[in-house]
């Protein structure tokens, strides 16, 4: 077991699994801080994964793919805002609908546009290649971890710090926190909480879209039906456990991503695939249980 963990190629694979969970969780964190209970991250991520492939295939550039993913995620955020904020639908109901909509829409479009069922792969789908950072790569162990990853991994690292500063200092960041903690005060200050929440949902959609892009055009160059496969829910748990604070979120998401990566890694070691597939969800459940229990003990 120790051999696997210290294996440089295992270390190198961790960021590929951390990035999608981290990006989606950062998006969820913005909603959480704005007082929007959004458990539709899974659907927003799946939509992003599909449109990333679509954009990359037709646009001929991986950046067009990433842009398409961001825009499609934002569209899902806008749909969430319309039905939750403007029409007053329960956020849980709207989230469930967004998840189903994403599952239906991506499969429908997969068949309508590419005329395939199940999966779409094509050499014309461009993907994010590894970026080697000179100097870093030479470091022992950690070099493998930090160098040679996709652009989106580095973007997500920058976003963790950026979001931390954003919540602490930026005007919109402060307003987002006010929308969550004291909406009446925000209204008194002449700012509509729902407008701030709309901004939060659009930013969340954009980040979840990028998370999907990492899945479909960075980790692999293809789209598979339901390819988010529950990672959006793991991100929801990460948000819940950290109450949307970016720095703790980074550690939790890294932990979940590392387990995800490990489960992929140990597949070749005689364990049945079902058990390795189960690991990330089980780990999430265990971490959630332990931290909830600690929190409960403190409250008593």
CB of 241 to other proteins, least distance (A): 10
Q: Does position 270 bind other proteins by CB under 8 A?
A: no
3 or 115, CB closer to other proteins? Answer: 115
Q: Does position 8 bind other proteins by CB under 8 A?
A: no
Q: Does position 116 bind other proteins by CB under 8 A?
A: no
CB of 259 to other proteins, least distance (A): 13
Q: Does position 83 bind other proteins by CB under 8 A?
A: yes
> DSSP of the chain, one letter per residue?
-HHHHH-HHHHHHHHHHHHHHHHHHHHHHHHHHHT-----HHHHHHHHHHHHHHHHHHHSSHHHHHHHHHHHHHHHHHHHHIIIIIS---HHHHHHHHHHHHHHHHHHHHHHHH--SSEEE-TT---PPPB--TTGGGSTTHHHHHSSB-HHHHHHHHHHHHHHHHHHT-HHHHHHHHHHH-HHHHHHTT--HHHHHHHHHHHHHHHHHHHHHHIIIII-SEEETTTTTTHHHHHHHHHHHHTT-HHHHHHHHHHHHHHHHHHHHGGGGT--HHHHHHHHHHHHHHHHHHHHHHHHHHH-
Q: Which of 101, 151, 174, 255 binds other proteins (CB under 8 A)?
A: 101
Query: How big is the site for other proteins, counted in residues (CB under 8 A)?
Result: 44
CB of 102 to other proteins, least distance (A): 8
Please identify, among the stretches 17-25, 56-64, 198-206, 291-299, the one whose residues bind other proteins according to the rule CB under 8 A: 291-299
Q: Does position 296 bind other proteins by CB under 8 A?
A: yes
Q: Does position 275 bind other proteins by CB under 8 A?
A: yes
Q: How far apart are CA 225 and CA 44, in angstroms?
A: 14
Q: Does position 36 bind other proteins by CB under 8 A?
A: no
Q: What tokens appear for 151 in the block?
A: 């652009």
131 or 271, CB closer to other proteins? Answer: 271
Please identify, among the stretches 19-27, 146-154, 191-199, 277-285, the one whose residues bind other proteins according to the rule CB under 8 A: 277-285
61 or 289, CB closer to other proteins? Answer: 289
Q: How far apart are CA 230 and CA 223, in angstroms?
A: 15
Q: Does position 119 bind other proteins by CB under 8 A?
A: no
Return residues touching other proteins (CB under 8 A). Answer: 37, 39, 79, 83-84, 87-90, 92-94, 96-98, 100-101, 103-105, 107-108, 111-112, 230, 233, 236-237, 240, 272, 274-275, 277-278, 281-282, 284-285, 288-289, 292-293, 295-296
């Amino acid at each position: 077991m120790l051999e696997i963990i210290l294996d440089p190629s295992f270390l190198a694979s961790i960021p590929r699994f951390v990035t999608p969970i981290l990006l989606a969780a950062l998006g969820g964190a913005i909603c959480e801080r704005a007082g929007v209970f959004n458990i539709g991250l899974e659907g927003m991520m799946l939509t992003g994964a599909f449109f990333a492939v679509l954009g990359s295939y037709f646009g001929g550039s991986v950046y067009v793919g990433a842009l398409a993913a961001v825009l499609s995620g934002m569209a899902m955020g806008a749909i969430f805002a319309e039905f939750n904020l403007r029409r007053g639908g329960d956020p849980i109901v709207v989230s469930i609908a967004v998840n189903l909509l994403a599952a239906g829409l991506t499969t429908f479009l997969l068949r309508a546009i590419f005329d395939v069922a199940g999966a779409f792969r094509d050499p014309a789908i461009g993907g994010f290649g590894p970026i080697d950072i000179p100097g870093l790569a030479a470091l022992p162990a950690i070099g493998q971890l930090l160098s040679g990853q996709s652009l989106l991994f580095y973007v997500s690292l920058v976003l963790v710090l950026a979001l931390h500063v954003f919540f602490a200092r930026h005007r919109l960041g402060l307003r987002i926190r006010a929308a969550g903690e004291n909406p009446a005060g925000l209204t008194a200050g002449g700012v509509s909480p729902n407008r701030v929440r709309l901004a939060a949902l659009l930013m969340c959609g954009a980040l979840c879209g990028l998370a999907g892009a990492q899945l479909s055009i960075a980790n692999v160059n293809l789209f598979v039906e339901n390819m988010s496969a529950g990672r959006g829910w793991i991100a929801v748990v990460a948000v819940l456990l950290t109450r949307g604070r970016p720095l703790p979120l980074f550690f939790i998401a890294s932990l979940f991503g590392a387990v995800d990566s490990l489960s992929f890694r140990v597949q070749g070691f005689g364990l049945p695939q079902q058990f390795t597939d189960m690991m990330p969800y089980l780990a999430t459940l265990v971490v959630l249980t332990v931290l909830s229990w600690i929190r409960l003990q403190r409250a008593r």
